[in-house]
Chains A and B, each alone.
Chain A
Amino acid sequence: MKRLTTGLVTLALLSWAAGCQRGNQTSSDKPTVALVLKTLNNPFFIDMKKGAEDAATRLGATLIVQAAEREVDVDKQMQIIENLIQSKVSALCVTPSGSKEVVPAIVKANRAGIPVVIVDTRVDSQALKQAGGQVAGFIGSDNFEGGKLAGEFIVKRLGGKGKVAILEGIPGHETGDSRLKGFHSALEGHPDIQVVASQTANWERDQGYNVFQNILQSHPDVQALFACSDLMALGAVEAIASAKKTGTIVVVGFDAFSEAREAVQKGTMDATIAQSPYEMGSRAVENAYRLLKGEKVEEDISVKIQLVSR
């Protein structure tokens, strides 16, 4: 009897959860495109989801959006992709949680004959080749270029001389690594610009706060900060405020989501690099759709990137 009640409650929960989907279950001839994001608790990916949804509505495709609870959970992302393969989606768009770790999942999709469009973070091409996997295309920003823009901005603001700190993303993430490389490339030829600290805050806001607070303890004279994401930059902005140093440190973030743009307007941040997650999401779904129609798509699409400052 009690088990029956458990079952009924579970059934109720399931149907409620299914109801949350506003009935976009697979209908007969509409192609189903699945978008697997790193996470849904970051405004960047929410914008991407919005772009994908709008494109799906425009094209008349069914869209399923799934994400792991944590951005770095590569195994959970693989499970989601495996499960979507089982539910026979027509095409997959994936923002890899790990450039190498996503490869086995891509191979599984290949075997099931499902085209995979990669968005935002590149797949490690060597690992992909070794595993004999294939992707149908890449859509994302030129992160190296973005990092370089940030570096040039800081060099200009400091007049070619000063102490700089960096908040890195998770090491081994292609996006963060490219931004970092781009940033360092802009500092070349400016020997008076000194990077005094470069530490990871794991893409997270609270860690951005703590790590930068610690950097301020050891380097109270730091003049500029480059954070590889806005979330980390905004965390650092709070740390700067609590140290009563607002306005004395040049802060440059990356992503330009709305809260960071406001911070730039207010002057608590100096600049951020604008990517276009909305466009990435929309073009990913478009390309997946065109692939399903048998059309050719560009293999590597760079979405525009620009510096936003006041």
Chain B
Amino acid sequence: MRLKEYVLHHGRQFGTLFGLLLLSGILWALTPYFLTVSNLLNVAEQTAIVAIIAVGMTFVIITAGIDLSVGSVLAFSGIVMASALQAGAPLVLGLAAGLGAGLVCGLVNGLLITGGRLPPFIATLGMMSVARGAALMFTEGRPVSGFSESFRSIATGEVLGIPFPVIVMVAVYIAAHMVLTRTRLGRYAYAIGGNEEATLLSGVSVKTYKTAVYGLCGMLSGLAAIILTARLNSAQPIAGIMYELDAIAATVIGGTSLMGGEGNVFGTLIGALIMGVLRNGLNLLGISSFAQQIVIGSVIIIAVLFDMALKRGKR
């Protein structure tokens, strides 16, 4: 009985999970290379970067906001960290510089939105251009490459056969779930997205929490930058273009409402995995890259269409 209630309560998540399993089943039937341990780890590793960014995006979208700057902030943080490391900074300091650069960009977004009363779309659109330009200017457009073995092991290392990026991703999701469900930041994020006016009237410092959410989103872009840079052994000023759209898609497929007030990170993880599995599967099947774009776009639209129909049915 309790199980049934649980399933009913979390029906939306199970729906998305079912979608992922179904997709995997289809691929398993179509190609013998899909369902192997090495390929599944491969998919998880490839998904990690967008999945980590999508956690921040989920927080932001829960507050009924949007962050278009994540891809550019990723590039900027990567460049800051790479330059610090190349200038001889110790590893820990370099990583802190990367996370810090992301955090600062995110906080500026938050302050523009709360203090400057800019719509999130506009504030982060501006940051998208500023951070990208800063990354390009700083490097004169050239990639910064060549790092120590210890830095590279962030992407190449593994524990019990599981690649580090996957472990980081799982840790981020568990932590984010805790924050979202057990802390004020999480509860207020839902409250702000549900009804900002009412949250403000009940005495919550909406500005502070909103700014913190954008700061968190920026910092997670910085974390993604660390992994991406280690993975490619190179920080590129043009990295992460269009990643904002992948992160938004993962969040929305995962059931977070663009209207704010509802959603959860595990849905987002499944959303990110659906896109990762789809790309992987289409590569394995040797499908032309043009057709791939059509398939991926269609799956996003179909997933959200059915989600909306499901919600309308409930009411």
Give me the interface of A with B, judged by CB distance under 8 Å: 2-3, 5-7, 9-11, 13-14, 16-18, 20-21, 24-25, 34, 40, 64-70, 72-75, 78-80, 82-84, 86-88, 98, 100-101, 103-104, 127, 130-131, 170-172, 200
Excluding A79-B46, A130-B146, A171-B141, 15 further A-B contacts by CB distance (< 8 Å) are A6-B306, A14-B27, A14-B30, A14-B282, A20-B291, A24-B286, A72-B236, A73-B241, A74-B236, A98-B232, A100-B145, A100-B232, A100-B234, A104-B233, A171-B142
Nearest chain-B residue to A88 (Cβ)? B33
A3 with B145: in contact, given A10-B26, A80-B283, A101-B234 (CB under 8 Å)? no
A75 B232 Cβ-Cβ under 8 A: yes
Q: Which residues of B contact A127 (CB under 8 A)?
A: 145-146, 233
Q: Which residues of A contact B295 (CB under 8 A)?
A: 13-14, 17
A75 B38 Cβ-Cβ under 8 A: no
Q: Which residues of A contact B31 (CB under 8 A)?
A: 87
Tell which of B14-22, B166-174, B212-220 binds the partner: B14-22
Residue pairs across A and B with Cβ atoms less than 8 A apart, 19 shown, are A2-B310, A3-B19, A6-B22, A6-B302, A13-B299, A16-B291, A18-B30, A20-B291, A40-B288, A68-B289, A83-B279, A83-B283, A100-B145, A100-B146, A100-B234, A101-B232, A127-B146, A127-B233, A172-B141
A10-B22 Cα distance, complex, nearest whole Å: 9
B302 A21 Cβ-Cβ under 8 A: no
State which of A7, A9, A75, A170 has its C-beta within 8 Å of the C-beta of B231. A75
State which of B27, B49, B281, B286 has its C-beta within 8 Å of the C-beta of A75. B49
B22 A75 Cβ-Cβ under 8 A: no
A88-B36 Cα distance, complex, nearest whole Å: 12
A131 with B30: in contact, given A6-B303, A80-B283, A83-B42 (CB under 8 Å)? no
A103 B233 Cβ-Cβ under 8 A: yes
Q: Which residues of B contact A65 (CB under 8 A)?
A: 288
Q: Which residues of B contact A21 (CB under 8 A)?
A: 285-288
A104 B231 Cβ-Cβ under 8 A: yes
State which of B33, B283, B293 has its C-beta within 8 Å of the C-beta of A69. B293
Q: Which residues of A contact B141 (CB under 8 A)?
A: 170-172, 200
Nearest chain-A residue to B279 (Cβ)? A79
Q: Which residues of A contact B233 (CB under 8 A)?
A: 100-101, 103-104, 127, 131
Nearest chain-B residue to A177 (Cβ)? B142
B228 adjacent to chain A (CB < 8 Å): yes
Query: Which residue among A79, A83, A171 has the maximum number of chain B CB atoms within 10 Å of its CB?
Result: A83
A34-B49 Cα distance, complex, nearest whole Å: 26
A82 B42 Cβ-Cβ under 8 A: yes
A74-B238 Cα distance, complex, nearest whole Å: 10
Q: How distant is A177 from chain B, measured CB to nearest CB, in Å?
A: 10
A78 B231 Cβ-Cβ under 8 A: yes
A17-B145 Cα distance, complex, nearest whole Å: 37
Nearest chain-B residue to A105 (Cβ)? B232
Nearest chain-B residue to A67 (Cβ)? B289
B140 adjacent to chain A (CB < 8 Å): yes
Nearest chain-A residue to B313 (Cβ)? A2
A103-B152 Cα distance, complex, nearest whole Å: 13
* Complex interface bits, B270-301 against A, C-beta within 8 A gives 1, otherwise 0: 00000000011111111111111111001100
B153 adjacent to chain A (CB < 8 Å): no
A172-B146 Cα distance, complex, nearest whole Å: 13
A17 B282 Cβ-Cβ under 8 A: yes
A7-B155 Cα distance, complex, nearest whole Å: 34
B236 A98 Cβ-Cβ under 8 A: yes
A142-B39 Cα distance, complex, nearest whole Å: 38
* Complex interface bits, B211-251 against A, C-beta within 8 A gives 1, otherwise 0: 00000000000000000100111101011011000000000
B23 adjacent to chain A (CB < 8 Å): yes
Nearest chain-B residue to A39 (Cβ)? B289
Q: How distant is A292 from chain B, measured CB to nearest CB, in Å?
A: 18
State which of B42, B146, B286 has its C-beta within 8 Å of the C-beta of A64. B286
Nearest chain-A residue to B298 (Cβ)? A13
The 9 A-B pairs with the shortest beta carbon distances in the complex, nearest first, are A83-B283, A171-B141, A64-B286, A7-B22, A17-B291, A172-B142, A86-B39, A101-B232, A87-B284
A11-B22 Cα distance, complex, nearest whole Å: 9
A3 with B283: in contact, given A13-B299, A86-B42, A171-B141 (CB under 8 Å)? no
Q: How distant is B120 from chain A, measured CB to nearest CB, in Å?
A: 26
A170-B142 Cα distance, complex, nearest whole Å: 8
A24-B294 Cα distance, complex, nearest whole Å: 20
A131-B290 Cα distance, complex, nearest whole Å: 33
Q: Which residues of B contact A66 (CB under 8 A)?
A: 283, 286, 289
B1 adjacent to chain A (CB < 8 Å): no
A278-B216 Cα distance, complex, nearest whole Å: 49
A80-B287 Cα distance, complex, nearest whole Å: 11
B284 A86 Cβ-Cβ under 8 A: yes
A70-B141 Cα distance, complex, nearest whole Å: 17
Q: Which residues of A contact B140 (CB under 8 A)?
A: 171
Q: Which residues of A contact B283 (CB under 8 A)?
A: 66, 79-80, 83-84, 87
B282 A72 Cβ-Cβ under 8 A: no
Q: Which residues of B contact A74 (CB under 8 A)?
A: 232, 234, 236, 239
B143 adjacent to chain A (CB < 8 Å): yes
A78 with B232: in contact, given A69-B293, A73-B241, A83-B280 (CB under 8 Å)? yes
Q: Which residues of B contact A170 (CB under 8 A)?
A: 141, 238
B309 adjacent to chain A (CB < 8 Å): yes
A82-B284 Cα distance, complex, nearest whole Å: 10
A68-B156 Cα distance, complex, nearest whole Å: 23
A7 B19 Cβ-Cβ under 8 A: yes
A127-B284 Cα distance, complex, nearest whole Å: 28
Q: Which residues of A contact B290 (CB under 8 A)?
A: 40
A103-B142 Cα distance, complex, nearest whole Å: 17
